[in-house]
Amino acid sequence: MTAPRKLGIVLSGASGSLLALQALRLAHSIADWESHLIITEGGQRTAELELNSQQRAEITALADHIHQDRDLAATIASGSNALDAMAILPCSIRSLSAIAYGQTDRLSIRAADVMLKERKPLVLAVRESPLHAGHLNAMSQVTQMGGIIAPPVPAFYLGNLSIEDMTRQMAARILQLLGLDVKDQRQAWEPPG
Ligand SMILES: Cc1cc2nc3c(=O)[nH]c(=O)nc-3n(C[C@H](O)[C@H](O)[C@H](O)COP(=O)(O)O)c2cc1C
> pLDDT for 136-166, tens place per residue?
999 999 999 999 999 999 999 988 889 999 9
Q: Per-residue b/e over 86-113, b at no fewer than 16 CB within 10 Å?
A: bbbbbbbbbbbbbbbeeebebbbbbbbb
Distance 12 CA to ligand 1 centre (A): 7
pLDDT at 193: 67
The best mutation among 15, 51, 99, 110 to test binding of ligand 1, ranked by most ligand atoms within 8 Å of the C-beta, falls on: 15
Distance 15 CA to ligand 1 centre (A): 6
For residues 189 and 157, the answer to whether their CB atoms sit within 8 Å is yes
User: Using one digit for the tens of pLDDT, what is the confidence trace for 54-99?
Assistant: 999 999 999 999 999 999 999 999 999 999 999 999 999 999 999 9
Distance 190 CA to ligand 1 centre (A): 35
Ligand 1 neighbour 137 (Cβ under 6 A): no
pLDDT at 2: 81
Which candidate, 13, 6, 41, places its Cα nearest to that of 115? Answer: 6
The hierarchical CATH code for the domain 5-177 is 3.40.50.1950
Residue 183 C-beta-side C-alpha neighbours within 13 Å: 2
For residues 53 and 88, the answer to whether their CB atoms sit within 8 Å is no
Ligand 1 neighbour 17 (Cβ under 6 A): no
User: Using one digit for the tens of pLDDT, what is the confidence trace for 109-139?
Assistant: 999 999 999 999 999 999 999 999 999 999 9
Q: DSSP code of 81?
A: G
